[in-house]
Structure 1
Amino acid sequence: MGGNPPCASCKLLRRRCAKDCIFAPFFPSEDPHKFAIVHKVFGASNVSKMLQDLPFQQRADAVCSLVYEANARMRDPVYGCVGAISALQNQVQQLQMQLAMAHAEVLCFQMQSDSSSSSSLLNQRLELDEGGDDKYSILLNNNMAMSGVPQSMNYSASSNVFPESLKRESLWI
């Protein structure tokens, strides 16, 4: 017989592998498990139709996707790769929350170390007219929001009373 060995598809289906076999370039005889799992999940006829509908340049990517999905379906018959994607999305959300908490903690530590600059901002703000949308007002409002001070509190220039939350040493205790 001297010719090429049959591809994994033709070997599994026990048929002669033609020169123009659509499976031969993507399912070599050295890797029979690759086609076996795709055949079990999708069926040889469906895979053949899918590959024939695609241009040759896209077939290799389609085969990789089919193999990946077939493996995922064998592990999780209900959700397949969607279950893995969902688990990864949940993990990303949890990590984003942890990152946001870490950023907030860093800001808190920075505010503690810059307490002298924060008090100078407060003093500068107290000297300005009420209701101004200047840069000091915005910075002070951001600092007060981070320290838990309600933004609706009224600070007049004649008042020397500071809220308790601005006097605290640590914001996380």
Structure 2
Amino acid sequence: MSSHRCAACKHLRRRCPSDCIFSPYFPSNNPRKFSYVHKVYGASNVSKILQDLPVNLRAEAVESLYYEAYCRVKDPVYGCVGMITILHQQICIAQYHLARIQAEIAVLKNQPPIANSNNTTSAAGPSQTQNPNLFVGQNPHSIFDPSSWFA
């Protein structure tokens, strides 16, 4: 038996041949990588996938299989779709905050300079540009309510 078996051959408890299909992509110093892929796809299926691909695409395919398998093991129901959904929600929240800040900047740019800092209201009352609630009728906290994400 070779002392430098790849993670796949170690996991499968077999000899690691010199032309092992797994060896370049599952090094012995990262056994979890093959463990996740094997648990979700099986060694035989992964071997077939790698053999059917050109050599220059195999590393990318292994990384994709690993990421999908990792997500599926961590979240058996949603897998990587769950991660994509979480990231999409974070993007939406960031876009909301960006739009709000851009609106506040626009309001401040259009506001005339204040001559007397003690007089912040006109005779008719507070000006529209001084209203901190720029999104009248919108609840800024509703974006953090999960029930509204898929409405």
| The structure with more helix, counted as a fraction of residues | 1
Superposed, 1:2-81 pairs within 5 Å as 3=2, 5-81=4-80
Identity value in percent: 52
CA distance in 2, matches of 1:113, 1:99: 23
Structure with greater Cα Rg: 1
CA distance in 1, matches of 2:126, 2:7: 72
Measured after TM superposition, the shift of residue 170 of structure 1 is 3.9
Contact kept in structure 2, 1:8 and 1:31, CA below 8 Å:
yes
The root-mean-square deviation of aligned C-alpha atoms, in Å, is 2.2
Superposed, 1:1-173 pairs within 5 Å as 3=2, 5-113=4-112, 169-171=127-129, 172=131
The letter of the residue matching 1:99 is L
Measured after TM superposition, the shift of residue 113 of structure 1 is 2.3
Contact kept in structure 2, 1:69 and 1:80, CA below 8 Å:
yes
State the Cα deviation string for residues 128-151 of structure 1 (Å, max 9, x = none): xxxxxxxxxxxxxxxxxxxxxxxx
Measured after TM superposition, the shift of residue 30 of structure 1 is 2.3
Contact kept in structure 2, 1:112 and 1:170, CA below 8 Å:
no
Q: Structure 2 stretches of 5 or more lacking a match?
A: 115-123, 133-151
- Which consecutive aligned stretches of 4+ in structure 1 deviate over 3 angstroms post-superposition? none
When the two structures are superposed, what TM-score results if normalisation uses the length of structure 1?
0.63
Give the number of equivalent residue pairs. 122
CA distance in 2, matches of 1:42, 1:30: 21
Measured after TM superposition, the shift of residue 169 of structure 1 is 2.8
When the two structures are superposed, what TM-score results if normalisation uses the length of structure 2?
0.72
In structure 2, the partner of 1:123 is none
The letter of the residue matching 1:169 is S
Q: Structure 1 stretches of 5 or more lacking a match?
A: 116-163
